[in-house]
Amino acid sequence: MPKELWKGNEAIAEAAVRAGLQAYFGYPITPQTEILEYLSRRMPELGRAFVQAESELGAINMVYGAACTGARVMSTSSSPGVSLMMEGLSYIAGTEVPAVLVNVMRGGPGLGNIAPAQSDYNQAVHGGGHGDYPRIVLAPSSVQEAIDLMGLSFDLAEKYRMICMVILDGSIGQMMEPAEMPEMKPIVDRNFDWATNGAINRERRILSSIYIDPPAEEVANLRLGKRWREVQANEVRYKEYYLDDAEFVIVGFGTAGRVALSAVRAARTEGIKVGLLRPITVSPYPYQVIDQLAGRVSGFLVTEMNMGQMFDDVRLAVRGRVPVEFYGRTGGVVPFPDEILAEIRRIAAGQWTTDRDPRDAWQARMVSVLER
Amino acid sequence: MNAPTNLVYERPEGFTDTPTHYCPGCTHGVAHRLIAEVLEEMELIPKTIGVAPVGCSVFAYNYFDTDFVEAPHGRAPAMATGIKRVLPDRIVFTYQGDGDLASIGMGEIVHAAARGENITVIFINNANYGMTGGQMAPTTLPGMKTTSSPNGRDVETQGYPIRMAEMLSTLEGVGYCVRRSLHDPKNIRLAKKAIRMAFETQARGLGFSMVELLSTCPTNWGMTPVASLKFVEEHMVPAYPLGDYKVSDAIKQVKI
Ligand SMILES: Cc1ncc(C[n+]2csc(CCOP(=O)(O)OP(=O)(O)O)c2C)c(N)n1
Ligand code: SF4
Ligand SMILES: [Mg+2]
């Protein structure tokens, strides 16, 4: 297919359709509403299910119901709406049915604003709903990557009977970029041996997240844990830039990773040997890659559009062997490459933070913003 | 085992061979049986997918011999919507208590009805939260004592009962919406007929259908099963009048 100009949100919608999306349930919220609007036209045109739900609670439970039948189903929302979906997400995880949820993140907490942010990283990767449950989380940094990851998200969700979230920020959702769409895939009946689609010529099936007997719940959780270890072993994805000769490494996902790449390129023209690691799966996280890098580089700089959430995962992988610095903008503010370049120069000049927690040091440097 | 020649009462085909966990004298079991009989009579068992609620009937899925899913508290109509939209030729029903449907799940039920989702809802109104030990529900009668209205429901501070059948019948998406009671054999027969009409509504694609059933909770009401039946007749029926709140013209023509 030739490249066309696509708006991020609409590209995500069309990519899901071409991946065989059978049902979509959503609720309007900026900056993801174009996905809902696009699919309100596209899905009925193809004879597929579309419902604008009464709330995100409604939407995620419609997803849950459709997922139980084995259909390819997704919802999309943005931060406050995704918070409402956490109940449903936990049930979907506990029932072990596949579903895809896209979060086009915005500034928070609370109602916050509608500007691009990455502050739901912890909710997506580490927390969110109640109970012990794993989930796959993909983080694209461009419209093209968002398109490519949509198809993958359904495949992974079904392969591992697990939630697959795609997290991006409002800038990717709203920006227009040339991108190539995949071919339209036909809808196939996957005939899952667990789907509750009517006990016609077979034994009846039950799908539930209840294990009233604690030892049975423990077995279920350990089963999920075992499957998660398979995901960790097989599905880690990331992109490396200039790592071969890098003396220190920036780690950033999504838009923060993309902005960092511009800064890295600029630093390279100044002769600074800095590289970039951009995780694509933030869950499972590329701990091993960072672990190995920590053995040969002098340190890391984590850049995020939040107060330092993925930062903790990088530190976990580095285990104190080399310094890990943090630079973030939060609340819907996107960093400029120059800001990251200034951090790169500081580090290249050997000014690592060694006397205190690097996040405290960053907070102190942000005093100019705080007092503005 | 050979069936006795004078067998007058047996397990309907719509049931699995599983003893229920309901308290003695609880009418949840009666409501279950009526649904199972109707599904059997309409030959819908293999086509049906049930949605269980959170409440005493959370384990409903153990008893019906159909595919079943179990919803989060109050969300059964949304789950049923998701199922029905991808499998429009299946029969999808929810079974919900009054805390589930009229409190935490109010948003889901109203909008499923307003959209005219072609699903059937069996709504068990027992005027309290049975499963959690008898707290006040939106349907608790004024003055009625529960564990969270120990001096009787005070309408000044705890509000008034919600009449779901009346409320939902105002919505255009609703094809069939009635209230029946399970307090005596005659009313149980009428309840069964209503359940049949509700599934007929769905089978004909005539929109949302709901049967509200006045039900007992002897355990939390602190009454014998017989006294609870009497309580339904004397106190619940006057507060929740039985009747057909909405029956679409097309379903009025259906003779069974
Ligand atoms: C989100 C959530 N809140 C609260 C509960 C606790 N809970 C379980 S059952 C129930 C009330 C059920 O009452 P009702 O729907 O009237 O059913 P009944 O047991 O009376 O048949 C509550 C509050 C829960 N499981 N989930
Ligand atoms: S607690 Fe009440 S509603 Fe629940 S099974 Fe017992 S009698 Fe029935
Ligand atoms: Mg109740």
A208 shares its domain with A330: no
The yes-or-no verdict on residue B166 having pLDDT over 90 is yes
CA-to-CA dists, residue B231 to A102, B72, B207, B221, B239, angstroms: 51, 31, 33, 10, 11
Residue B181 to residue B183: CA distance in whole angstroms: 6
Ligand 2, atom 7, lies closest to the CA of B217
Q: Which residues of B128-137 are buried (b: 16+ CB within 10 A; e: fewer)?
A: bbbbeebbbb
Residue B3: band (very low, low, confident or very high) from pLDDT cuts 50, 70, 90:
low
Residue ranges of chain A with per-residue pLDDT less than 70: none
User: How near does any CA of chain B get to the CA of A223, in Å?
Assistant: 20
Q: Is A191 among the domain residues?
A: no
A166 shares its domain with A305: no
Residue type, A82: V
Residue type, A41: R
Q: Is A361 among the domain residues?
A: yes
Work out which ligand 2 atom sits closest to the CA atom of B23.
6
A65 shares its domain with A209: yes
A213 shares its domain with A314: no
Ramachandran category for residue A245: left, alpha or beta (phi over 0 → left; psi -120 to 50 → alpha)? alpha
Q: Is A118 among the domain residues?
A: yes
**CB distance A101 to A129 below 8 Å:** no
The dihedral through the CA atoms of A330, A336, A340, A346 has a sign that is negative
The yes-or-no verdict on residue B2 having pLDDT over 80 is no
Of residues A43, A230, A262, the one with CA closest to residue A136: A230
Q: What phi, psi does B108 have (nearest 5°)?
A: -65, -45
Of the candidates B51, B62, B72, which has its C-beta nearest A87's C-beta? B72
A337 shares its domain with A291: yes
A161 shares its domain with A87: yes
Work out which ligand 2 atom sits closest to the CA atom of B215.
3
Percentage of chain B lying above the pLDDT 90 cut: 95
User: How near does any CA of chain A get to the CA of B114, in Å?
Assistant: 10
- Of B20, B21, B23, B27, the residue with max ligand 2 atoms within 8 A of its CB, to mutate for a pocket test, comes to B23
Q: Is A342 among the domain residues?
A: yes
Task: Give chain A positions within 8 Å (CB) of B52.
Answer: 208
Residue A246 to residue A253: CA distance in whole angstroms: 18
Tell me the average pLDDT across B147-172: 98
Residue A355 to residue A159: CA distance in whole angstroms: 46
Residue B86 to residue B92: CA distance in whole angstroms: 11
Q: Higher pLDDT residue, B5 or B47?
A: B47
Model pLDDT, residue B9: 85
Q: Which residues pair with A283 in a beta bridge?
A: A137
How far is the centre of ligand 1, averaged over its atoms, from the C-alpha of A42 (Å)? 38
Model pLDDT, residue B8: 86
At B91-135, the pLDDT tens digits run 999 999 999 999 999 999 999 999 999 999 999 999 999 999 999
- DSSP letter (8 states) at residue B232: I
Taking CB atoms within 8 Å and a gap of at least 24, the contacts of B232-239 are B232/B181, B232/B182, B232/B183, B233/B181, B233/B183, B233/B184, B235/B141, B236/B125, B236/B127, B236/B141, B236/B181, B236/B183, B237/B181, B237/B183, B239/B141, B239/B161
Of the candidates A23, A55, A57, which has its C-beta nearest B82's C-beta? A23
Q: What ipTM does the predicted assembly reach?
A: 0.96
A265 shares its domain with A332: yes
A307 shares its domain with A282: yes
Could you tell me if the CB of B134 is within 6 A of ligand 2?
no
Q: Is A320 among the domain residues?
A: yes
Of residues A153, A343, A146, A320, the one with CA closest to residue A251: A343
Model pLDDT, residue B6: 85
**CB distance B60 to B50 below 8 Å:** yes
- Pick among B13, B61, B64, B86 to test the A interface (most A CBs inside 10 A): B86
Q: Is A197 among the domain residues?
A: no
Of residues A81, A51, A65, the one with CA closest to residue B173: A51
Model pLDDT, residue A320: 96
To 5 degrees, how large is the angle CA B236–CA B73–CA A226? 155
**CB distance B201 to B210 below 8 Å:** no
- DSSP letter (8 states) at residue A297: S
**CB distance B81 to A26 below 8 Å:** no
Q: Is A332 among the domain residues?
A: yes
- DSSP letter (8 states) at residue A115: S
Of the candidates B62, B68, B70, which has its C-beta nearest A209's C-beta? B70
A315 shares its domain with A252: yes
**CB distance B46 to B64 below 8 Å:** no
The answer to whether A52 faces chain B, any CB pair under 8 Å, is: no
As for how many domains chain A has, the answer is: 2
Model pLDDT, residue A369: 84
* Structure tokens, B75: 């969300």
CATH number at residue A359: 3.40.50.920
The yes-or-no verdict on residue B143 having pLDDT over 90 is yes
Q: Which residues of B2-32 are buried (b: 16+ CB within 10 A; e: fewer)?
A: eeeeeeeeeebebbeeeebebbebbbbbbbb
Query: What CATH number does the domain located at B28-248 have?
Result: 3.40.50.970
A21 shares its domain with A156: yes
Q: Is A67 among the domain residues?
A: yes
Tell if the CB–CB gap between B67 and A25 is shorter than 8 Å.
Answer: no
A265: containing domain: 238-370
- The pocket around ligand 1, CB under 6 angstroms, is made up of B 54-57, 73, 97-100, 124, 126, 128-132, 137
* Structure tokens, A348: 């290249």
Of residues B55, B50, B89, B33, the one with CA closest to residue B205: B89
* Structure tokens, B158: 């705890």
Residue A309 to residue A108: CA distance in whole angstroms: 14
Q: Which residues pair with B208 in a beta bridge?
A: B174
CATH number at residue A114: 3.40.50.970
A257 shares its domain with A181: no
A88 shares its domain with A208: yes
At B67-93, the pLDDT tens digits run 999 999 999 999 999 999 999 999 999
Of residues B244, B248, B172, B255, the one with CA closest to residue B211: B244
Tell if the CB–CB gap between B49 and A197 is shorter than 8 Å.
Answer: yes
The yes-or-no verdict on residue B1 having pLDDT over 60 is no
Tell me the average pLDDT across B190-217: 98
